[in-house]
Amino acid sequence: MNSLTEKSSPSGSVSTEELKPGTTLLQGQYVIKRFLNSGGFGMTYLAHDSLDRKVVIKECFPASMCSRADTVVRARSRAHQKEFRSIVQLFVQEARRLARLKHANIVGVHQVFEDNDTAYMALDYIDGLDLLDIVDGEKEPFGAEELRRILMKILEAIAFIHGQNILHRDISPDNILLDKTGNPILIDFGAAREKATKSSRALSAMLTVKDGYSPQEFYIAGTQQGPASDIYALAATFYHLMTGEPPPNSQTRLAAIAAKRDDPYRPIASRVKNFDRGFLAAIDKALSVFAKDRLQSASEWLDEIDVEKRRAKALADARRDKNIDLSISRLVSETNRAVSEAIGQEDQKDPALNPARGPSSDKSNGPHRNCDEVNRGSAKTDVAAKRWFVKRSSGQSSQSRFSFFGKSRADQLGKANT
């Protein structure tokens, strides 16, 4: 269940320590309307702000180490007091980081503040349903093009947050909302919860994982996590949307591979129709057990499934290749001309190299004609030009510059004139 729409706790139960309707926060700026749901790290409420707009309030309330007296939140014991305060500060830090994420497909954070000796954040209220509700309520809720559109929007959002060096860490169908216009919104980042379990002994046993969606590295403390971790969770989410069930638990898959048994995962390409092969292959690759085998970024995934991007990339590659060919052609042409001019200058400086003609020779019988006589054939000229260009670039002497095919210029001219 998501926390940004008007829904009750998934179990239907109500916490005995939630804030009551009518409770005000931040000196009356927010008024609690009702409790929505709770988790191991906090509670979520529907509220109205000072302009009577609906907002969602998330409260830092790690229930295993704190309790409420009236509205004030206190650590359950002195032993928990220091850890509780560090988690509140972590909540504030992460909320401020999220507040800087301005994107059409990421839930907006209006404000981060402290009250009642704990911390809160005010978020956009999204009028819509999450993907889990939608897929559970309809047999075939999405067509191929609609799913592609939703996936591409979420991939753009994930590419954006990864570009800010932030991981979501809790991508799943219930954390993606569709508003009334069909725009997907990514909510409920798990980064703060993941950090809290590392910083608190009391919370260390509370793994921030969701079976079927979390990659295997989320289950093992200290394992490296990165963009490919979020990629796995997103692929698992869309696997569920397309097949009606999440993929097998990644830990089960890892154990099977370690025992040299078959991976229980069934490739999506063998389960669904009406999708192009590239779209399905990208999901299967993103769901690889080991991070190194997955798609490594949201941008890479977008390139795999965005037809327009693939066309644009192919066109750009073709243009670049054409430009390279043109550049090489121009370089060879300019080098040939430079060789001819340089040989002409050498002849003019030393007429003895060509006893058949003196300085008064007619232009029509000038040095360029000698160049043509020595370098018969276009292939021979090109080879000589390239060698000259390389040697000239390395700063070799004038004599060695014009030493083609292992012989000096004087030797070649002498043979040409005999």
Q: How far does the chain reach from its first CA to its final CA, in angstroms?
A: 96
Return mean pLDDT, the chain: 79
The rounded distance, in Å, linking the Cα atoms of 211 and 276 is 28
Instruction: Average the pLDDT over each of 251-260, 363-372, 384-393 and give the range with the smallest value.
Output: 363-372
pTM over 0.75: no
Note the pLDDT of residue 1. Answer: 42
Domains 1-126 and 127-186+209-305 share a fold: no
Q: Over range 94-117, report the average pLDDT.
A: 92
Q: How many residues does the chain have?
A: 418
Q: Over range 48-63, report the average pLDDT.
A: 94
The rounded distance, in Å, linking the Cα atoms of 17 and 154 is 35
Note the pLDDT of residue 227. Answer: 94
The rounded distance, in Å, linking the Cα atoms of 324 and 112 is 53
All structural domains of the chain with their residue ranges = 1-126, 127-186+209-305, 313-417
Q: Would you say residue 381 has pLDDT above 80? A: no
The rounded distance, in Å, linking the Cα atoms of 357 and 349 is 13
Q: Would you say residue 377 has pLDDT above 60? A: no
Q: Over range 159-183, report the average pLDDT.
A: 92
Which fold, 1-126? Phosphorylase Kinase; domain 1 (3.30.200)
pLDDT digits (tens, 9 = 90+) for 313-323: 777 777 777 67
Integer-rounded Cα Rg, in Å, for the chain is 35
Q: Over range 119-133, report the average pLDDT.
A: 93
Instruction: Average the pLDDT over each of 41-45, 212-216, 397-401 and give the range with the smallest value.
Output: 397-401
CB 242 within 8 A of CB 268: yes
Q: Would you say residue 155 has pLDDT above 90? A: yes
Q: Would you say residue 375 has pLDDT above 50? A: no
Question: 32 falls in which pLDDT band (50, 70, 90)?
Answer: very high
Return the percentage of the chain with pLDDT > 90, whole number. Answer: 45
Q: What φ, ψ does residue 88 adopt, rounded to 5°?
A: -60, -45
Which fold, 127-186+209-305? Transferase(Phosphotransferase); domain 1 (1.10.510)
Q: Would you say residue 293 has pLDDT above 60? A: yes
Of 332, 333, 349, the residue nearest 398 (C-alpha): 349
